[in-house]
Chains A and B, each alone.
Chain A
Amino acid sequence: MYLVANIDTGICAATSCKLCTQYCPEANTILYNNDAGKDKGLKYGSAYVAVDRCKGCAQCVWVCDNMAKHNAIKMEMIDQIGDTALTQNVTYGEKNSSATLASPIRG
């Protein structure tokens, strides 16, 4: 098993500074859903990780902790993460992207 980044939607959607994705070395990996968290009254939307593209470097964790100071990202074992975003479940919109969540183990 291996580690991937996992973003806490509750923390991220309270501010959604959009910093981490500018620093992730991998393209199309940290994406944004402007509607995430709206059901809980959070207004800014949240970043999320397409875990099949994540190489587990934890640079985003450093950026969220030290630059954004939001501590919203944790590295977690891929089999412990529950349902999450995968490239094949991502839909791009006009100015947004979203993903239906699925198990990274079963796909």
Chain B
Amino acid sequence: MSLDYVKFTPGFGKFMPKEYRDMVEHGPFGKKISVSQVGMFKEILEEHPMCAGCAMTLFIRLAIIAFPNPEDTITVGTAGCGRLAISQAAIPFVYGNYGDQNGVASGLTRGLRLRFGDKPKDVVVMAGDGGMADIGFAQTLHSWFRKEKFTTIMLDNEVYGNTGGQESGMTNRNQVLKMAPLGKKFEKMDMLGMAKVAGCAYVATVVPNNPRRVESVIKKAVLVAREIGPSYIQAYTSCNIEYAIPTDKVMEDAKTVEDDRYKFSEYITDEAKEYLSQLYGYKEYLPKPATAVGKQ
């Protein structure tokens, strides 16, 4: 049904811009596409004004490729760098006021369920660490406590990038930034711990220097949010401008930070494990066969 909007009005195809025609004819809508096939199909993310070499850009690109059903997905964002790209994809994007994104997504998710019943429409919030852990903190936490069924992705560049380098709750202690010249006085907030306490069914940390892993966690998070409950992904997406990382060293930095303090982690409830294994064939979550008595 929703694939209806990714086709031409009869007779108009040849008048559409090339990018649009490529997207309709060779895009990922209605197909099973994976990160390993990039370069051979038309991606639904278009050109945008984010900085050259930004790791957040790469993460957003990979996340959009990983959406299990892009034709049935709606993204929600807010002020901050990420929305400059997220809004330039051929899937609907809703702009929440700064900090309101999880409130907006809650209403949207409920409305879509009323309108479309059990046909899945995936709602995915992608916003910066400032928008999510500082200004939108209450709305983020409350959406989790209310068990709203959508995915929340933090684009954690550990700074307010879009406004020129203020510290956020997710900045590391002692970090000096342009607008934090004395260094941050407090620890980085434990949003992962809070997501678990607040009842998220799937929580993961990821760094974009491993594209296949980004794909895997995004898919799981979106699928879990369909039926089980809220999911949260925290992605290290460095700001090469505010952290002065040369663009050709951005992946080297990602690797160093991953090895040091942003190791891959995944938390999943038993209910979510059962659901992923039963409905979507995730073998890793199948119950381990009990060892037969007497056999070693």
Interfacial residues, chain A to chain B (CB-CB below 8 A): 18, 21-28, 30-32, 34, 47, 53, 55-59, 61-63, 66-67, 87-88, 90, 92, 95-97
- Contact at B53–A92, with CB atoms within 8 Å? no
Contact between A59 and B247, CB atoms less than 8 A apart = yes
**For the complex, is B252 an interface residue (Cβ under 8 Å from A)?**
yes
A71 vs chain B, min Cβ distance (A): 14
Known A-B contacts A59-B248, A59-B250, A62-B248; the reply to A97 vs B55 at CB < 8 A is no
Interface residues of B, dominant DSSP: helix
- On whether the beta carbons of B42 and A28 are closer than 8 Å, the reply is yes
Q: Knowing A25-B61, A87-B18, say if A56 contacts B40 (CB, 8 Å).
A: no
Return 20 A-B CB contacts under 8 Å, by A number: A21-B39, A22-B62, A23-B211, A25-B54, A26-B47, A26-B61, A27-B64, A28-B42, A30-B39, A32-B39, A57-B53, A58-B247, A59-B247, A59-B250, A87-B18, A88-B18, A90-B22, A92-B22, A92-B26, A96-B40
- Which of A25, A67, A95, A96 has most chain B Cβ within 10 Å? A25
- CB of B251 within 8 Å of the partner chain: yes
A15 to chain B, nearest CB (A): 15
Question: Shortest CB–CB separation between residue A70 and chain B, in angstroms?
Answer: 16
C-alpha spacing A31/B123, complex, angstroms: 29
Whether the pair A87, B52 counts as a contact (CB closer than 8 A) is: no
- Picked from B36, B42, B57, B249, the residue with its CB within 8 Å of the CB of A26 is B57
For the complex formed, measure the closest distance between the CB of B83 and the CB atoms of chain A, giving whole angstroms.
16
Type the 1/0 row for B247-265, where 1 means its CB is closer than 8 Å to any CB of A: 1111110000000000000
Q: Which residues of A sit under 8 angstroms from B26, Cβ to Cβ?
A: 92
Which of A22, A23, A56, A90 is close to B52, meaning CB atoms less than 8 Å apart?
Answer: A56
Q: B248 contacts A57, CB within 8 Å? A: yes
B241 to chain A, nearest CB (A): 12
Contact B46 A27 (CB under 8 A): yes
B19 CB within 8 Å of chain A: yes
Interface string of B137-168 (1 = CB under 8 A from A): 00000000000000000000000000000000
Residues of A within 8 A of B50 (CB): 25
B177 on the A face (CB < 8 A) = no
B247 to chain A minimum Cβ distance, whole angstroms, is 4
* Given A87-B18, A92-B26, A92-B42: A27 in contact with B61 (beta carbons within 8 A): yes
Is B179 interfacial (CB-CB < 8 Å)? no
Is B42 within 8 A of A62, CB to CB? no
Which residue of chain A has its CB nearest to the CB of B89? A27
Give me the 6 closest cross-chain CB pairs, A-B, nearest first: A57-B53, A55-B52, A92-B26, A32-B39, A57-B247, A58-B248
Closest to A52 in B: B47
Do B53 and A21 touch across chains, with their CB atoms under 8 A apart? no
Contact in complex: A31, B252 (CB < 8 Å): no
Residue of B nearest to A47 (CB): B39
B45 at the interface (CB under 8 A from A): yes
Q: Identify the interface centre among A21, A57, A61: most chain B CB within 10 Å of its CB.
A: A57
For B45, what are the chain A residues with a Cβ–Cβ distance below 8 Å?
27-28
Nearest A-chain residue to B61, judged by Cβ: A27
- Inter-chain contacts of B44 with A (CB < 8 A): 27
A93 CB to nearest chain B CB (Å): 8
On chain A, the residues within 8 Å of B47 by CB distance are 26-27, 53
Taking a contact as CB atoms under 8 Å apart, the answer to whether A22 and B38 are in contact is: yes
Query: Counting CB contacts under 8 A, is B41 at the interface?
Result: yes
